[in-house]
Amino acid sequence: MAVEIGGIGQSVKRKEDARFIRGKGKYVDDVKLPGMLYMDIARSPLAHARIRKIDTSKALAIPGVVAVITGKDLVPLNLHWMPTLMSDKQMVLPTDTVLYQAQEVAAVVATERYIAADGVDAIEVDYEPLPVVVDPIKALQPGATLVREDREQKDNHIWHWEVGDRAGTDRAFADADVVVKQDLYIPRIHVSSIETCGIVASFDKVEGKLTVWMTTQAPHAIRTVIALVAGHLGLAEHKIRVISPDIGGGFGGKVPVYPGYVLAIGASVLTGVPVKWIEDRAENIQADSFARDYHISAELASKKDGTMQALRVKTIADHGAFDAAANPSKYPAGLFHIITGSYPFEKSFVEVDGAYTNKPPGGIAYRCSFRVTEAAFTIERLVDVLALKLGRDPAELRMQNFIPPTAFPYTSSLGWEYDSGDYGRALRLAMDTIGYADLRKEQAEKRKRGELMGIGISSFTEIVGAGPSKNFDILGIKMFDSAEIRVHPTGKVMVRLGVKSQGQGHETTFGQIVAEELGIPVADIAVEEGDTDTAPYGLGTYASRSTPVAGGATAIAARKIREKAKLIAAHLLEANPDDIEWKDYKFQVKGVPSKSKTMQEVAFAAYTNHPQGMEAGLEAVDYYDPPNLTYPFGSYICVVDLDRGTGEVKIRRFVAVDDCGTIINPMIVEGQIHGGLTMGLAPALYEQINYDEQGNIQGGTFMDYLLPTAMETPNWETAKTTTPSPHHPIGAKGVGESATVGAPAAIANAVVDALAHLGVRHIDIPITPWKVQKILKENGVAE
């Protein structure tokens, strides 16, 4: 029975894959409208420069070029600046100064994509180079080159944010037996989704209605932003339709509003003709929002016996030229204060300072719930530094310190209330699966022979599912989410959601929640997202919030339907509603299983034979405001062998034990974990975007930015424990990002472990062969 329904816990095959694997997905670039024009963007080659002159005459002379837009053209429309999702603003096009390389300088609209590109090449810009600052630490020093002349504040400091007990933490450090300190840099990386960003904007001058198809993870929020930014141009929210079609990966990079979107919308509103803009790969890496870029200094205080007591963290956050991160308003450093991780620190204090530099904006949550990756990496690295200092086994030290399962709900010293967890169980399972004790023996023997093998652990705790409206909003919009369920007369179902899948499998998993709650086979349930004209309002998909928030809305909306359905069933069964129970996916008269009605029978009756006095139909909406966040966790163990000749790190084994509470679809969860692990491997060993002193990007193409492929990816071994969230309607916690968050520390810890006997305590990621080989050479152990 359960398998036919395809409810919670079943590995139902992904419904969306039928079109994806046939190449029948419909992405923004598949949208083609009659008379559509194409836009391309001229970008700055310099990281900081005054624009003396922009000569568009040669571009305009090219047959097929319809218009060239510069910043000065946008001034009368008041569209040359736009608000970011944080309390900052960002240039749409510059009027006089460019602040980073690849910044948008002008846009060309033409009858063909290639003509638009020719137009871009024909634009002549006379730049006067200005001094460049790319290092946030230098940017915060007195006398540093000023990035943002438009601000009243004449330095590069954006904000200071702190949380915790500063004085108490300082006292705890002063009194501690043992203090370890580690500086870490978590480099700037890019989400590099397969599909780049793009838009088709179509303004109907007769109806006054704007329809946009765009690559956005948050279509409703975008609709509201368009109404707020362009309201003065006559765009009202009921005449704006945002459609987010199939998306080829988002990972946080498709949350912000990019200037290209605004330009294409502006071009369509002015011309009344549809305008398409699709960025190319280099534009995507060079100009779209980056992730990470945190310079962290972390200290941990403990007793001699290893009992962790206090944590103190100071961070400089490089936000580029505009603070265009997409954090909840209240938290400029996101949820970085989950940095206490899986350990019960009595005292802790965290402070973060944001800095402007001549680099592209961002600080987006790359497959992590707002700076959680930075936090998890720091604490899990720091615990290993402490283990080395104390000469303790890192697994044993973790076991000694974990927040015990009996302590939940547990309130951390930085104010988060962890919902549930059993960290020791997850680590034990990971140790048993990988054979931890035997690996340590093997390592000791290999060390005697001069072979370099390391074992790394990461026992991370995540914080996802933003979020409770009392604390979480973006631009003032509370971070609830929504589901609307309609059961048709024949028992088939339409579910519409305020979130938006980018590959996560929502059409399947949300169908399974409804299937479980209503007893209707998942095959009979259609899930639709991403069209603001039809879907209920929601904040979108990022920060692993779809299942914790929209999943809650879906379950509760389905339960509202079931409540009404029960009354109809009682009517059909001629019984008192109190005598009706929901059992085996049917309404039964208590104790009389032969007297039952299926949901399909009830649905038909809801339209054909509903009780007099009751509203006809069978549908429900729920806007779910979660009472708390959810706290998925896991323990990962990685085994590496180092090549003493090349310095290459070879991942021999990687065991990932995840606990994301109730699992809706085990196959999809496993897929999420595999993808997440690969995206955790990426920054650990390969990915980094650097800039030279002139602000030239050093990783602006896939020649220089090394994305792991199947060649680099090891065989991931996954396992699970299940500790349901006590406050979530189905006990689910969210898993989309756990592996990205947890994996980098396990890999880095393994490499440091392989070199620890040489005195190595830390290596900044990405741990490239060059870095390892340098250490090997310095210690005379290179081959």
Partner 1 sequence: MRFEGTLDIAAPRDRVWSFLTDPKQVTTCAPDVQSLDVTDPRHFKVVVRAGVGPIKGTFTMNVEFTELVDQGHATVVARGQAPGSAVELRSTMDLSALDGTRTTMKWASDVTVSGMIQQVGARLMQGAADKITQQVFSCIKAKLEAPVTA
Residue whose structure tokens are 């009389």: 592
Eight-class DSSP state of 515? H
Contacts of residue 121, defined as CB under 8 A and 6 or more positions apart, other chains included, come to none
Give yes or no: 52 in active site: no
Q: How far is the CB of 707 from partner 1 (least distance, A)?
A: 16
Q: How far is the CB of 122 from partner 1 (least distance, A)?
A: 8
Token digits of residue 103? 């910044």
Q: Measured from the CB atom, is 118 or 293 closer to partner 1?
A: 118
Q: Measured from the CB atom, is 167 or 703 closer to partner 1?
A: 703
Strand partners, 650: 641
Give yes or no: 737 in active site: yes
Q: Measured from the CB atom, is 206 or 703 closer to partner 1?
A: 703
Is 510 near partner 1 (CB under 8 A)?
no
Is 130 near partner 1 (CB under 8 A)?
no
Nearest CA-CA partner of 634 in 319, 421, 393, 348: 421
| Of positions 286, 327, 482, 596, contacts partner 1 by CB under 8 A | 286
Collapsed DSSP state (helix, strand, coil) of residue 172: helix
Token digits of residue 534? 């039809």
Is 125 near partner 1 (CB under 8 A)?
yes
Q: Measured from the CB atom, is 297 or 694 closer to partner 1?
A: 694
Is 45 near partner 1 (CB under 8 A)?
yes
Provide the mask over 46-85, with x wherever binding to partner 1 is found by CB under 8 A and - wherever it is not: xx--------------------------------------
Q: Distances from the Cα of 555 to the Cαs of 547, 604, 632, in angstroms?
A: 10, 22, 20
Distance CA 487, CA 624 (A): 20
Nearest CA-CA partner of 80 in 67, 93, 99: 93
Residues 700-719 that bind partner 1 (CB under 8 A): 700-701, 703-704
Is 694 near partner 1 (CB under 8 A)?
yes
Q: Measured from the CB atom, is 681 or 697 closer to partner 1?
A: 697
Token digits of residue 519? 């007893």
CA angle 103/107/113 to nearest 5° reads 115
What DSSP element (H or E) covers 456? strand 453-461
Token digits of residue 603? 């649905």
Q: Measured from the CB atom, is 125 or 752 closer to partner 1?
A: 125
Q: How far is the CB of 43 from partner 1 (least distance, A)?
A: 7
Q: Is the peptide bond before 409 cis (omega within 30 degrees of 0)?
A: yes
Collapsed DSSP state (helix, strand, coil) of residue 606: helix
Residue whose structure tokens are 């837009």: 69
Q: Where are the alpha helices (DSSP H) in 208-356?
A: 219-230, 259-271, 281-287
| Of positions 38, 100, 127, 356, contacts partner 1 by CB under 8 A | 127
Eight-class DSSP state of 490? T
Q: Are 131 and 310 in contact (CB under 8 A)?
A: no
Token digits of residue 490? 């024949």
Strand partners, 457: 637
Residues 451-470 that bind partner 1 (CB under 8 A): none
Q: Measured from the CB atom, is 45 or 577 closer to partner 1?
A: 45
Q: How far is the CB of 146 from partner 1 (least distance, A)?
A: 20
Q: How far is the CB of 40 from partner 1 (least distance, A)?
A: 11
> CB under 8 A: which stretch of 89-97, 307-315, 584-592, 699-707 binds partner 1?
699-707
Give yes or no: 281 in active site: no
> CB under 8 A: which stretch of 122-130, 153-161, 544-552, 560-568 binds partner 1?
122-130
Q: Distances from the Cα of 502 to the Cαs of 245, 251, 396, 489, 551, in angstroms?
A: 9, 8, 39, 31, 16
Residue whose structure tokens are 């030279």: 692
Q: Measured from the CB atom, is 20 or 114 closer to partner 1?
A: 114
Contacts of residue 411, defined as CB under 8 A and 6 or more positions apart, other chains included, come to 417, 418
Among the listed residues 16, 638, 737, 773, the single catalytic one is: 737
Give yes or no: 368 in active site: yes
Nearest CA-CA partner of 363 in 336, 327, 400, 316: 327
Is 41 near partner 1 (CB under 8 A)?
no
Q: How far is the CB of 686 from partner 1 (least distance, A)?
A: 18
Strand partners, 162: 351
Distance CA 673, CA 662 (A): 15
Q: How far is the CB of 100 from partner 1 (least distance, A)?
A: 12
Cβ atoms < 10 Å from Cβ of 703: 7
Is 42 near partner 1 (CB under 8 A)?
yes
Provide the mask over 663-692, with x wherever binding to partner 1 is found by CB under 8 A and - wherever it is not: ------------------------------
Q: How far is the CB of 217 from partner 1 (least distance, A)?
A: 28
Is 697 near partner 1 (CB under 8 A)?
yes
| Of positions 5, 66, 68, 123, contacts partner 1 by CB under 8 A | 123
Residues 615-634 that bind partner 1 (CB under 8 A): none
Among the listed residues 195, 223, 368, 670, the single catalytic one is: 368
Is 124 near partner 1 (CB under 8 A)?
yes
Among the listed residues 10, 217, 512, 588, the single catalytic one is: 217
Size of the site for partner 1 (CB under 8 A): 27
Collapsed DSSP state (helix, strand, coil) of residue 746: helix
Q: Measured from the CB atom, is 281 or 470 closer to partner 1?
A: 281
Cα dihedral across residues 316, 317, 320, 324: positive or negative: negative
How far apart, in Å, do the first and last CA atoms of the chain sit? 62
Is 122 near partner 1 (CB under 8 A)?
yes
Among the listed residues 367, 381, 496, 545, the single catalytic one is: 367
Is 43 near partner 1 (CB under 8 A)?
yes
Distance CA 368, CA 126 (A): 41
| 3-class SS shares of the chain: helix, strand, coil, % to 5 | 30, 25, 40
Nearest CA-CA partner of 317 in 154, 164, 188: 188
Q: How far is the CB of 286 from partner 1 (least distance, A)?
A: 8
Q: How far is the CB of 695 from partner 1 (least distance, A)?
A: 8
Is 108 near partner 1 (CB under 8 A)?
no
Q: How far is the CB of 323 from partner 1 (least distance, A)?
A: 25
Q: Which residue ranges make up the site for partner 1 (CB under 8 A)?
A: 42-47, 101, 120-127, 129, 282, 286, 694-698, 700-701, 703-704
Which residues are marked as active site? 217, 367-368, 737
